[in-house]
Amino acid sequence: MTKTQVEQNGIVTLTSEAAETLKDSHLLNEDLRPTTKEEHHWTAYNFASLWIGMCICIPTYTMSSGLIALGMNWWQAIVTIILGNLIVLIPILLNTHAGTKFGIPYPVFARLWFGSKGAHIPAIARAIVAAAWFGINCWYGGAAIDTLLVSMTGWEQVGGHLFIAFFAFWALNVLIAYRGPEAIRKMEFWAAPVLLILGLALLIWALTAAGGFGPMLSAPSKFNSVGSFLAIFFPALTGVIAFWATLALNIPDFGRYAKSQKAQVVGQSIALPGTMGLFAFIGVGVTSATVVIFGEAIWDPAALLSHFPPFVIFIGTIGIILAALTTNVAANVVAPARAAENLYPKKITFAGGAILTGLLSLVMQPWYLVGDIANYIFVFLNGYGALLGPIDGIAIADYWFVRKRRLALSELYKSDGRYSYASGFNMKSIYALLIGIVIPVLGLFIPALSFLWQNAWTFGLIISGCVYGYLMRQSPSMLSEEEYASMTVMMDSASTSKKLSGNVIKSDPENV
């Protein structure tokens, strides 16, 4: 068998010959192709700064502070958030491995389990959720700008002033996202430490104004029994898990640039739970302090800003804008932009996908999604968790248990290859997805099964993963060890061969 790929230090790239044969494939364009060896340059710090930039965002703040508003005390809210993030870190690391090893983005990864055409199903599902988050972050940023303008001018006299500020900030987000993922990496690099400093400054204010940690964290839990607490805890935990269930799916979009598996594992394992825990504590602490200072729990940061003088509002607005931008362009643009590209690889670019994401976010009506904190956590977060959990389960089961991390990289870009299945659709993954969605949804209608819906992401992941693994146990699309060895050139770290140094499809380094 002709050698089509090279594996060196755990990273697989195409041979120059295989890359040449794919250049006219309608399933490939500059953004969807496998990365080259040189493009695997993200370090542990790049991944850590990526997560710091994404985690320090207004939805993180409102989620943690919202748990206080729902009746938890400070440590119950923190434990819920840290536990949820440790759980979701597992699929994040498992799915990143595939992106790092084979250099493929999420829509191409999805071709493995759903087929060359069926991959649009999980890609679009992820894109819709991302567009909703894009709109939510734009709404918070716009609200902060509106608060600033009202405090400094007669802005409140302008009709529809809040929506004007929202659309202006929305346009800024679309413009930055238009420049592509490499611009995202550069922005996250310097924005991460700035956001940490601003977050700590907010915590220091709350600590000082409330008179210390004692008064600040004195608000008791409103739950009188274990049962009443658990009734809120489990759906809240699912909401926390679902918060990053989105990135658990499309994390290969970033993992494909990792310098090594160690780089992505170390960077993500430290930054995700660590930053979420810290910023959640800031959100919880500040919201608890507002009860002491203002007599009510103020969980909306834009509303909190209105209680400060103009200069503080200005600094706070800069922080909110920066937080919204770093999260939006990294977490909420890449996935839908790639999904759009995957629909028509030869016609739609990443930039075009970014514009489509912005337009779709308006359709999602973010002002409605965040209008009520219970609606935000229990309906929005839990609802899309029930959709994405089964997809996560299928992805993990396919790569780790069905294929055992062995792929024919070039076949992912062939419409008649081994991953096309029946007319481009793998019906086994579709059956597994439907079963993983339907069973948890039963908990919405059958009170005795309510625990299924309260833990929809977890049950959906396990159910779909198991069903998919069972249905795929005899699939001819799997590669044996011998087949994988026959198509792969194995090179150690000392090898310097240039003939087989990897994919030679040229790229603009600013568009990778």
Q: Are 503 and 7 in contact (CB under 8 A)?
A: no
CATH number of 5-511: 1.10.4160.10
**Two structure tokens written together for 304:** 């909190």
Given a contact cutoff of 8 angstroms between Cβ atoms, the answer to whether 47 and 261 are in contact is no
399-428 residue pLDDT tens: 999 999 999 999 999 988 899 998 899 999
With contact defined as beta carbons under 8 Å apart, do 263 and 47 qualify? yes
Q: What is the pTM of this model?
A: 0.83
Q: How far apart are CA 102 and CA 111, in angstroms?
A: 13
Q: CB count, 10 Å around CB of 111?
A: 29
Residue 124: other Cβ atoms inside 10 A: 17
Cβ distance 355 to 178 under 8 Å?
Answer: yes
φ/ψ of 16, rounded to 5, equals -60, -35
Phi-psi region for residue 220, left (φ > 0), alpha (ψ -120 to 50) or beta?
Answer: beta
pLDDT at position 508, please? Answer: 39
pLDDT of residue 405: 96
Query: What pLDDT is stored for residue 128 in this prediction?
Result: 84
Give the residue among 148, 224, 238 at the shortest CA–CA distance from 456: 238
* Sequential DSSP letters for 373-424: HHIIIIIIIHHHHHHHHHHHHHHHIIIIIISTT---GGGGG-TTSTT-TBTT
Kindly give the parts of the chain with pLDDT less than 70.
1, 180-192, 219, 371-381, 493-512
Residues 6+ apart with CB under 8 A from 73: 217, 219, 220, 221
Q: What is the pLDDT of residue 504?
A: 44
Q: Could you say which DSSP state residue 492 is in?
A: -
Helices 106-114 + 382-396 axis angle, to 10: 70
- The predicted pLDDT at position 511 comes to 37
Tell me the average pLDDT of the chain: 85
Contact 249, 399 (CB under 8 A): no
Q: Please give the DSSP secondary-structure letter assigned to residue 493.
A: T
**Domain layout of the chain by residue ranges:** 5-511
353/359 Cα distance (integer angstroms):
10
